[in-house]
Structure 1
């Protein structure tokens, strides 16, 4: 059925629509209150079916490439908004704005219900009214808290207040020992106020830290001085110097987006009690170039940014959300937030007064971030990789995979992540996988399937690097295409020497396998001095290091269990048979005698079953 026939079948209901190109690749996902009206607005029908004249350049180009259409009907427009956002994060359509930042930010909290309150970091929402929150913070929350505890003698640990005598913290003058009644609740509350003043005024905190750092340096405590220096740098990075105070106690969230030549940037500012508490930013890739000019739909970018941020549990909601540009369909976003939090929060584009000044500050920060970004090298390794392998996006976020096992024992996999903004591996996003499959092909399939299943929670990267050859590359493409995800993939493997590929063989060189524009698998052998090859090798090597370390840890645990079995007369050969059959030690422990008899004889099966029953935790 062609596109024109599909358009005639559109229903008069709310839903989500998807456009595909001639190769079946997903181009765009949108939502609609009435599918028939919204989708038909993209076209003019005379003299033949063409993109509508009023479309922006980016959407005009998308419609020019579209040859098929699918849709999903939902009960109402609110459900359409939720489904649209979920599908965009999972499937990465070519012409949608893609934002990675849907994480929850840390907050600093203090619970006034406690006799001697402490400051703590949390990402969870606590329903108690006695709790006051500060934040959110994109960076620097832990450094701020550590610094405050360095300066203000609060109760240092949760366990301290439960003690009956003063501890080391009192001896080194970092706590007034309320556990021994050496400070009243009134005097302690003044310390809490001092600590909170440092949260409100980062400049004051930094000045105090610099004093402390100089004291340490004068006492030749250089290691402690260096720690404070590093904290100061982190806190400074999280600070936007506005010098503004709204002279009110309003809580506001502000979003500002500006586009540059190669990227756009989104700045978020969080105003708490009328003061700028924290800020964060992220770059947005601009992949659509029209007439040699980058193009981005700012309206869609604002919608994605607001939905992504408020789709999380948030302890401290603003009174208003400020945006630096007018946002279409802002009423839909307000309904989304109302449904999510049962709060009426208006989205406003201020035109005057102090709120307009705040927006101007955010836009100035956008300009500065874009200036710094554009001052980097004109041709980056990411552009070189895109050109070399014909990638449809710049590989700013790369996930690399490897697996490891020994005779079927301790079968594990690992994912490591490279982040262009950090210009380094993003270790907090590394993942281990305990695998059940027996052979390497099935193990890689199991690991990649599990990653694909998590795309809604943690969106797909720009590039996968697979440790393997053409067979595993085809496997990876089959997996992502089965769920319709737009994702680039390459695989790196040693060339075959004497029909085997050994990492240790000096004569063996790495070959990178990739899929070209026409869908054919290509093998590329680059010089060892090629920076593009070295970048890919670095990803593979880090994944290999990470998975081997995890494998050793798992194997040590299993070896310890195997040695226990051997005490009962079950030799290593029999244990290996069991592991090859069951895949992991836990399954041997829970197997019945009948299941164990599939591998060993009746006597051995009974010995093993009895042993684990006797040693149950």
Structure 2
């Protein structure tokens, strides 16, 4: 270790600390690797952690046995590499930001003759594109309300037609497709819609009137939809007391810490009003690395594809990399970006409001009953924090046929169905099917970072497989397996004589059936199983339909089985040539199949 410290390069780069077992402890970036890494140590009388380190980093250095460095051309490159490695590898002592979301924006392209409002999470090219947001909550509710209240062009394809559709007949569109409204009059409708976006109370009152109209007309289902939209819009936090006289667009970041950890609060001000907020919990209890929190949260929030609609970014605390980070964002976003910590005036009151909200969130978390099952899971598995985002895996097949895998996601106490994934697998046995699926998921960590916990439907063998794959990739991620206890080498599921066991790094855990923690894991496993079975049935049905098409051409079940056994799938049969088909069956059957498949392709093209 001492020799490595003596020979560190005096260049920008990223450093990684590993323990004696090779597990990644920490990733950091430096303007000078030599100066930064040496600052963690005291060299006399013996090599030891520097006394001025915070408790968390002091503990990390005490466990460090090996250092690895990666030299980068510039400090900006080091910043980006550090952030990428932390997201993919989840080092034990780094600050792990759980919120990787990109929030939606409402946008409109004013260069079009009859423009429409749309949702986007990415930059939409165009000189006259206007953005509204971001919206951590309620973006879809606002958009749907605009089309409910203002007779805009309702669908993208409407203008392609030359005849007014049902929307015009029910009064929801002025039919520009038939020339019943010109561009000037349509702009008046756009202004009305914009007034709803800028005034949350106005849109709510209009929706309440529309809901009453539906209810009086006994259109209760439509009234309920309006009610749900109002509820969604209510969730968009609004702080009217913080209005500024200037019509400024600002993003405010504030960080605070308490006994239960840290919290990062974001406030979004548009045209002088704070219109929305969001927050992220941190696995951190002190201010020793507050600069890292601001640096990484800002760097992750403003990706190259994210619309940047603020004039400046305000932070409640100064940190060393502000100017460097601003320059990096300016290069990434293609426009000037200012990052500042105001010390007086209205902007100082804005960051104070951010800190006030952070303290309130910490108070609520402190006063929350400790019976939360996620807290119990944290203690059961000896985790640093309660698991917030969990990915659960299961696979399904029938005698090795149509093998599929499924991943479901449980995030923040609810199912995140937009993140569910299916996997078409090639392996014939469960072990290699799970290996194939998990390997694909690990390969996507760069695009979609790992969660807080993996749950595998399977025993110790599959749990160890998952842990080994993660270790090979270098990611620190706890894995739990759940499976029926084997009695006489069999798990008697149908008879109910075997209990579910949890398999962890420390061994098998036997919990009582009434234990909330076991029930929590069972709920996760059952959802993954349901999702996998549903997809397997769908794939089997698809194969069955294709096989029945072959049977309709006079190819009997025995020949179908011979074909499937040889080719494994119908797609492979479709791609087979005459010679191969004749080899499996005979020349007459091969000709019959080729002709039939050619006719089927022609019908598909028609």
Q: TM-score, normalised by structure 1?
A: 0.91
Distance 2:576 2:492 in 1: 37
**Aligned position for 1:441:** 431
3-state SS, counterpart of residue 543 of structure 2 = helix
> What pairs up with 1:85-484 in 2 under 5 angstroms?
85-286=83-284, 297-420=289-412, 423-484=413-474
Distance 1:510 1:560 in 2: 37
Counterparts in 2 of 1:603 and 1:94: CA distance versus 1, 3 Å = farther
For the pair 1:563 / 2:548, whether they are aligned, the reply is: yes
**Aligned position for 1:289:** none
3-state SS, counterpart of residue 156 of structure 2 = coil
Q: CA deviation at 1:138?
A: 1.6
Counterparts in 2 of 1:500 and 1:566: CA distance versus 1, 3 Å = farther
**Aligned position for 2:574:** 589
Q: CA deviation at 1:239?
A: 2.4
Q: CA deviation at 1:42?
A: 0.9
Distance 1:578 1:74 in 2: 55
Q: For residues 294-350 of structure 1, give each alpha carbon's deviation from its aligned partner in whole angstroms, at most 9, with x where no partner exists.
A: 676221111110110122412334321111111221122122212212323121011
Counterparts in 2 of 1:498 and 1:564: CA distance versus 1, 3 Å = farther
Moved more, 405-414 or 268-277: 268-277
Contact 2:122 2:307 in 1 (8 A): yes
Distance 1:198 1:161 in 2: 24
Counterparts in 2 of 1:48 and 1:296: CA distance versus 1, 3 Å = closer
Contact 1:238 1:279 in 2 (8 A): yes
Contact 2:17 2:24 in 1 (8 A): yes
3-state SS, counterpart of residue 417 of structure 1 = strand
Contact 1:392 1:488 in 2 (8 A): no
Distance 2:192 2:485 in 1: 64
Counterparts in 2 of 1:453 and 1:583: CA distance versus 1, 3 Å = farther
For the pair 1:531 / 2:516, whether they are aligned, the reply is: yes
> What pairs up with 1:10-25 in 2 under 5 angstroms?
10-25=8-23
Counterparts in 2 of 1:223 and 1:40: CA distance versus 1, 3 Å = same
Contact 2:405 2:422 in 1 (8 A): yes
Contact 1:414 1:546 in 2 (8 A): yes
Q: For residues 470-521 of structure 1, give each alpha carbon's deviation from its aligned partner in whole angstroms, at most 9, with x where no partner exists.
A: 11111111100101111111111112245332432221221211111xxxxx
Q: CA deviation at 1:124?
A: 3.0
Distance 2:272 2:370 in 1: 40
Distance 2:6 2:85 in 1: 24
Q: CA deviation at 1:167?
A: 3.0
For the pair 1:547 / 2:532, whether they are aligned, the reply is: yes
Q: CA deviation at 1:537?
A: 0.4
Moved more, 274-283 or 55-64: 274-283
Distance 2:577 2:261 in 1: 59
Moved more, 159-168 or 532-541: 159-168
Q: TM-score, normalised by structure 2?
A: 0.93
Contact 2:308 2:333 in 1 (8 A): no
3-state SS, counterpart of residue 159 of structure 1 = helix
Distance 1:478 1:596 in 2: 42
Contact 1:137 1:280 in 2 (8 A): no
3-state SS, counterpart of residue 185 of structure 2 = helix
Distance 1:574 1:45 in 2: 77
- Equivalenced residues, count: 602
Gaps of 5+ in 1: 287-292, 517-521
Q: CA deviation at 1:551?
A: 1.0
Contact 2:315 2:339 in 1 (8 A): yes
3-state SS, counterpart of residue 541 of structure 1 = helix
Contact 1:512 1:523 in 2 (8 A): yes
Moved more, 442-451 or 562-571: 562-571
For the pair 1:60 / 2:58, whether they are aligned, the reply is: yes
Q: For residues 126-157 of structure 1, give each alpha carbon's deviation from its aligned partner in whole angstroms, at most 9, with x where no partner exists.
A: 22112211111122111001112211222222
Counterparts in 2 of 1:360 and 1:511: CA distance versus 1, 3 Å = same
Distance 1:577 1:527 in 2: 49
Distance 1:508 1:607 in 2: 52
Contact 1:125 1:313 in 2 (8 A): yes
3-state SS, counterpart of residue 259 of structure 1 = strand
Distance 2:424 2:386 in 1: 31
Q: CA deviation at 1:577?
A: 5.5
Contact 2:302 2:308 in 1 (8 A): no
Counterparts in 2 of 1:37 and 1:161: CA distance versus 1, 3 Å = same
Q: CA deviation at 1:278?
A: 3.0
Counterparts in 2 of 1:40 and 1:585: CA distance versus 1, 3 Å = farther
Counterparts in 2 of 1:410 and 1:209: CA distance versus 1, 3 Å = same
Distance 2:578 2:505 in 1: 49
Q: For residues 53-79 of structure 1, give each alpha carbon's deviation from its aligned partner in whole angstroms, at most 9, with x where no partner exists.
A: 222222122111211111112222121
Q: CA deviation at 1:158?
A: 2.4
Gaps of 5+ in 2: none
Q: CA deviation at 1:201?
A: 1.3
Contact 2:304 2:333 in 1 (8 A): no
3-state SS, counterpart of residue 17 of structure 1 = strand
